[in-house]
Homo-oligomer: A and B are copies of this chain.
Amino acid sequence: MSLVRVHNFSVSLDGFGTGEDQQLDAPFGHAGSRLMEWAFETRTFREMGLHGESAGSFGVDEAFASQWGPGIGVEIMGRNKFGPLRGPWEDEEWKGWWGDNPVFHTPVVVLTHHPRPVLEMEGGTIFHFLDADPVSALMQARALAGDLDVRVGGGVSTVRQFLEADLIDHMHIVQVPVVLGRGERLWDGLEGLEQRFEIEATPSPAGVLHLVFTRRAAR
C-alpha cells in the first residue's frame, strides 16, 4: 500500500500552522513569511521559482525539503491552501497561488464543500475538487496516484483531520521558533498523538527543528 505523507509543514512554538487573516497577498495571514523562511534558501524551493534566482543550498534543510516530491503521485489539499476565497465560487477565475504551471506536476485533490469542474493546468497539475471526508478523499486520491504515495499538503485543518482519522504514515513538521499568538492550531484534538508515532528531531543551522513522525508498526 502506498504511504500517506506530510512534508515541509511548519508550525510555530505555540503550535500554529498558519496565522490569522489570510489574504490574497498573505497566504499565511499575519504570520507573513516567518513560518517558511527556513526553506527560502533550499534548492527545492528555489527550483520552484518562488523565492529568488540563486541555486539554493544543500544543507539539512534542503535534505528534508527535497523529500517533498519524489515518489508522490497526488496531493490532497484543503480549500484554504488552494486560495483565500471562502464559500461558493463566484466564478472560476481563481486557479491557485501557483501561476499557470503550478509546482505540483501531479493530480491535486482540493477538498471543498463547493465542487467545480476539473481544472487542468500546464506541467501536469490537474486540480480535482471534491466534497469528501478524509477517508473517501484518500480513496479517490489513491486512484489518481497509481502506485505512488499520497501527500497531504495542508492547510492546517486538513492535516489535523487526516491525523485525527489516523491516516498519516509519515509526517515532517518544521518547528519554527516564533510565537504567533493566533491563527490555526495544528495539535488541537490530537492528545496522545505521540503514542502512535516514533518521533525524531534534527535541528538545523537555520534555527528550526525538523521533526519526523513515523507511524509505529503496531496498529
Contacts and interface: CB of A to CB of B under 8 A. Distances in A.
The DSSP consensus for interface residues of chain A is loop
Contacts of A194: 13, 177-179
Interface string A171-207: 0000101111110010111111110000101110001
A72 B59 CA distance: 40
Contacts of A179: 187, 190-194
A62 interface: no
A187 B16 CA distance: 11
A201 B193 contact: no
A194 B178 CA distance: 5
B211 A177 contact: yes
Contact of A207 (B175, B178, B189, B199): B199
Contacts of A188: 14, 181
A84 B202 CA distance: 37
Given A13-B194, A14-B15, A179-B190, 18 more contacts: A13-B15, A14-B185, A14-B187, A15-B15, A175-B175, A177-B199, A177-B201, A178-B192, A179-B193, A179-B194, A181-B187, A181-B188, A181-B189, A181-B190, A181-B192, A182-B191, A201-B208, A202-B203
